[in-house]
Structure 1
């Protein structure tokens, strides 16, 4: 298993080189250090997976109890190559406080593609986040935000071009606030057969332009996402995907992320951690 540090992309470095950080100097990567009251790590064994399943089922019981009752065991996607499960654990008690599952299209199509056909403009190296779950209340908001940062850092680490998510209401509004764009009609929800026909909003996020778009929008999470190093987010146990090509060639169409149906989404409509 290849160990890799948290990867950060300075303003003056093209994300096209996200997979190769040998050219990045110490000065370029200097950031403000901040500690979190929990740690995020990659699930590596059955014990850690059980802890992730516990917080996952508990969180889903609050919103979709019938579906949550079927979530007491691991799913095939939890152990498949090309993906990973993140686990957040409180430093004080050691208890699990959040989890997220990440799946790429390195070896197979994204899970949502069982239920929907993605448009042609959405192609290349893609990653989806599913089974996002955090503890209830105010503490869970920060856990959710940090899990998203771990998701973003993983994309940089592996040279991912597109984040693609399927979000239930009201979580969809939080992704819209992060500048995710609707893949289909603006605000459109689609029942997903592989997810108990629960309506989801399919949204995408172009990784290459993230820093610029957050900066230009003066996004309230810009400093957290870009300007701060969180050593409590540890992705070192994530296996390298070893994509067939050696360098990511991001799509160069001008403002690609802004010309599709979700272009009316704006920053700051609802904080992600609310």
Structure 2
């Protein structure tokens, strides 16, 4: 436990970049794993209503610190929480089982990203896209540890589904942390854009190419390379993540038009004590 704690603390999000391999490099990444490390919490995919309720309480507590008016109704599920093509991660403390962090992932498998209701992404950000939203963790050093693990889960999910681009919209100061992680600006350098789907709060839209991640982190001698690539964390469990079952052709920058009657329902695949925390982006 001591080694794992030290490892995560050394890998703060303020460092240049982080996370594991790329589709072509997945086998190499596996070979690079040098050790197994345990975390003081677990990260799992929300797969039932009880877990969703716990994630919502964590989300609301986190957003309450920064946007209390916006957080008032966050104890209730939002449409994206149950829609196919996405999932929610929930981090829970091993000591007492309390939720300590959550993140929602949305892909463009069935419809456009929520971000695309506010901005049109340029042509170079295309293919299979995934956005991270509703990130909330408990405050302090413990929350920074959870945040790192949630983003490792995010990256591993992208690897699993062969995602081409991570796309995020971040407020300050998280935008600087993403830039340090080698995310790039989608629009003007350090440009903040009011987003209609986020109460017109200015956000910096940024993207990260998944396929080149491992190489870029390695070349940059990134402090989190070891955590994200060379270490296996069995406490991060993606076994309940539903497959997106992408069609044979590459995904498009816009949503694939699937009739709503054919969309999988919540919990199906395409086949058939939360204290104050930190709310980071939409």
Q: TM-score range by the shorter chain?
A: 0.7 to 0.9
Q: Does 1:143 align with 2:151?
A: no
CA distance change for structure 1 residues 189 and 29 in 2, over 3 Å: closer, same or farther? same
What root-mean-square deviation, in Å, do the aligned CA atoms of Structure 1 and Structure 2 show?
1.9
Name which structure has the greater RCO, CA cutoff 8 Å, separation 6+: 2
Q: 2:164 aligns with which of 161, 166, 172?
A: 161
Alignment match, 2:246: 243
Conservation of the 8 A alpha-carbon contact between 1:17 and 1:247? no
Q: Go from structure 1 to structure 2 and tell me whether the alpha carbon gap of 1:25 and 1:52 turns closer, same or farther (over 3 Å shift).
A: same
Q: What is the CA deviation profile of residues 119-174 of structure 1, one whole-angstrom value per residue up to 9, with x for unaligned ones?
A: 01110000000000000111000000000000000000000000000111111111
2:200 is the counterpart of 1:197 = yes
Q: Which residue of structure 1 lines up, in the alignment, with residue 67 of structure 2?
A: 64
Which stretch shows the higher mean deviation, 69-78 or 88-97?
69-78
The whole-number CA distance in structure 2 between the counterparts of 1:39 and 1:232 is 5
8 Å contact kept, 1:134–1:143: yes
Give how far 1:25 is off: 9.1
Structure 1 runs (4+) deviating above 3 angstroms are: 24-27
Number of residue-to-residue matches in the alignment: 232
| Distance in 1 (alpha carbons) for counterparts of 2:29 and 2:177 | 34
Call closer, same or farther: CA 1:129–1:25 in 2, change over 3 Å. closer
Q: TM-score, normalised by structure 2?
A: 0.79
| Structure-to-structure mapping, 1:7-26, within 5 angstroms | 9=21, 15-16=23-24, 24=27
TM-score of the pair, normalised by structure 1: 0.81
- Hey, what does 1:216 align to over in structure 2? 219
Task: Give distance in 2, aligned partners of 1:73 and 1:227.
Answer: 38
Q: State the distance in 2 between where 1:123 and 1:188 align.
A: 20
Deviations 1:181-212 (A, max 9, x none): 00001111111111111111100000001001
Structure 1 residue aligned with 2:191: 188
Contact 1:181/1:203 (8 A) holds in 2: yes
The corresponding residue for 2:42 is: 39
Distance 1:61 1:84 in 2: 22
Over 3 Å counting, the alpha-carbon distance change for 1:225 and 1:26 in structure 2 is closer
Assess, with a 3 A threshold, how the Cα gap between structure 1 residues 68 and 33 changes in structure 2: closer, same or farther: same
Query: Which ranges in structure 1 are unaligned for 5 or more consecutive residues?
Result: 1-7, 19-23, 249-274
User: 1:109 corresponds to which residue?
Assistant: 112
Is it true that 1:76 corresponds to 2:70 in the alignment? Answer: no
Give the 3 Å change call, closer, same or farther, for CA 27–69 of structure 1 in structure 2. Answer: closer
* Structure 2 gap segments, 5+ residues each: 1-19, 252-282
Distance of aligned partners of 1:200 and 1:27 in 2 relative to their CA distance in 1, 3 Å threshold: closer
Q: Give yes or no for the alignment of 1:120 onto 2:123.
A: yes
Structure 2 equivalent of residue 48 of structure 1: 51
Task: Give SS of 1:127's match.
Answer: strand
Q: Report the equivalent of 2:88.
A: 85
Give how far 1:28 is off: 2.4
- The counterpart of 2:136, out of the listed 133, 136, 150, is 133
